[in-house]
Amino acid sequence: MLALFFFFSIVNCEFLSNDQATPSTLSNITLTQAVGRNCGNSNVYDIYGVDVSPWPPSPGMVGILTMNGKFVKGTYVQEIVLGTCYNSMIWNYDPVDVDKSWPTGEVVQFDMVVVFPNEHGSYISNVQLTAGDHICCWQFAYNIA
């Protein structure tokens, strides 16, 4: 299964004004591809996109997930959760505590370091922000050959 390192960072992009906060100004140009789709918009955190590097993932390789977005509504974030499903079977979830609040309009980048699985097959992963309630979700699929 996908191993999640408990290295987690939050980059607060205070240097950007609201009119400059676009996905292209927030994305790290060294990341290879924005992937996936929104799997649960709650009108709290507007996800610009999630970059996964390396893309596509390779067996056992260390990777970085970067989620960029803006808090449309000020809120408290309890944790970020990475869920992974192998070959359409059981989901496994790895939560990491965040325990922080952000005001309305704050542009925030969440980064997670992961180790991609070694087992060959089809995977679906999603990254979620929660606070007891669902804040947002981004989902992407990949294969390990």
The total domain count for the chain is 1
pTM equals 0.74
Residues sharing a CB contact under 8 Å with residue 81, sequence separation 6 or more, in sequence order = 93, 94, 95, 96, 127, 128, 129, 130
- The parent domain of residue 101 ranges over 37-144
The two structure tokens encoding residue 91: 């989901």
Token couple for 15: 């240097």
Residue 18 in any domain: the answer is no
Q: Is residue 11 part of a domain?
A: no
Task: Count CB-CB contacts under 10 A for residue 87.
Answer: 11
Span 31-54, mean pLDDT? 80
Residue 33 pLDDT class (50, 70, 90 cuts): low
Query: What tokens appear for 88 in the block?
Result: 């359409």
User: Is position 24 within any domain?
Assistant: no
**Per-residue model confidence (pLDDT) at position 21:** 31
Asked whether residue 1 is domain-assigned, the answer is: no
Asked if residue 96 is part of any domain, the answer here is: yes
Supply the mean pLDDT for the chain: 79
Percent over 70 (pLDDT), the chain: 77
For residue 78, give the CATH number of its domain: 2.60.40.770
* DSSP bridge pairs for 102: 75
In a domain, 2, yes or no: no
Q: Are strands 75-86 and 37-38 parallel, antiparallel or unpaired?
A: unpaired
